[in-house]
Amino acid sequence: MRVPRHERGMRWWLAPGLFVSALSLACGGGTPTGRDGAATTSYPSASATPQVTVTPALATTPAPSPAPATSPSPEAAVCEARPGGPGAPVRDGNGPYYHQVWLAHELPGAARAGAGTMVLDHASVPDGVAIPGGATYVYYVNGATGGIDVARVDGDAVTPLGPVTIDGVRNPAGIVDPDATPLSAGGVRLAYLAGFGPPLPSRRGWTMCIADGADGLAFATRGPAITFDRETTDPSLVRLADGTWLMAASQGRTTILARSADGLRFEAGDTLPFGGVPELADAGGGKVRLYVCTNGIESYLSGDNGRSWQREGVVATAPPPQRIICDPSRVAGTSLFFYKTAN
């Protein structure tokens, strides 16, 4: 993949000899922390048309008999779970093997996190979820294997459980950037970037996939959510007050939004002029909050379902001696706030 100029030198690898991405894109690279700009600024969504390919719902058309089996669309093929197996850590000083996952608590009445504690080493891109009436989990990229792992969260204790399973495949290859959302009927919806790593013959663009799981550990693929024509990573989902769904994803220093009626098939919309590894969260009262990596982790608030945004301020800065803090995750229904750090 081509690495944007401001991201060069920040690459990581899943297996020796296989280049797979830029750190700050697919594995949530961030920016060194800086001063909080005190002014509060309102940012309406940009109206520029993004270069995206929207994946439509897959139609089923009866074939005449006899007929050969039909092949899945390129996007659907990318979402198919493929055996991968454990990789090996690559001693790239910028890679996720040298990242850490931290756990903090968001302070009452403020979009700001308190002091955090490192809970996972050699881990990156965390995203937490609390299943109503069930367990609380955090999903992350395991820096030693390159796959998506899950850990159980009990208070401030985090216990790794190992790789996730999708369609019966444990530790499937080529999936990164997990985002977990609780479903109203129970269980977890997992969104992620698929087809990561050496290009598949069928891959076209950057596809975000959806999989649902009743227990948060084993998932069944629901198919492609959307495919972008330009490099896009780190999807985040939230269900809005009107019952529709909003996705935010990272396109370098900007954030692209996409919308869906069912949370399964999304259509691209506005591009925001700020961003970097976004996280969407229900802020209550019909409002939605967007966290991004800019000067530390910052937050923006929307009262109109993500059509305009008001900057709130800095939520968290990197704990010394770390220089980078990114990949925010606000766990709905709790005060838990995960993020990753790196030097």
Give pLDDT tens digits for 168-194. 999 999 999 999 999 988 899 999 999
Q: Give the pLDDT confidence score for residue 23 in this predicted structure.
A: 39
Main-chain dihedrals φ then ψ at residue 26, nearest 5 degrees: -75, -20
Residue 198: its pLDDT value, please? 60
How far from chain centre, in Å, is Cα 219?
16
More confident residue, 54 or 243: 243
Q: Which amino acid is at 75?
A: E
Q: Strand, helix or coil at 292?
A: strand
For range 263-288, the mean pLDDT: 95
Q: What is the mean pLDDT of the chain?
A: 81
| Statement: residue 54 has pLDDT above 50 | no
**pLDDT confidence bin for 108, thresholds 50/70/90:** confident
Q: What are the pLDDT digits (tens) for 116-144?
A: 999 999 999 999 999 988 899 999 999 99
Q: Which residues contact 202 (CB under 8 A, 6 or more apart)?
A: 74, 77, 78
Contact (Cβ atoms closer than 8 angstroms) between residue 329 and residue 279:
yes
Which domains does the chain carry?
A: 9-55+74-342 (2.115.10)
**Helix and strand counts by DSSP (H, E) for the chain:** 2, 27
Residue whose structure tokens are 């975000």:
208
- Token pair 């495919």 in the structure block, residue: 227
Give 121's contacts (C-beta < 8 A, 6+ positions apart): 100
Q: Which pLDDT score, from 0 to 100, does residue 151 have?
A: 98
pTM: 0.81
- Confidence at 20, pLDDT banded by 50, 70, 90: very low
The DSSP string of 203-268 is --SEEEEEEEESSSSEEEEEEEEEEESS--EEEEEEE-TTS-EEEEEEETTEEEEEEESSSSS-EE
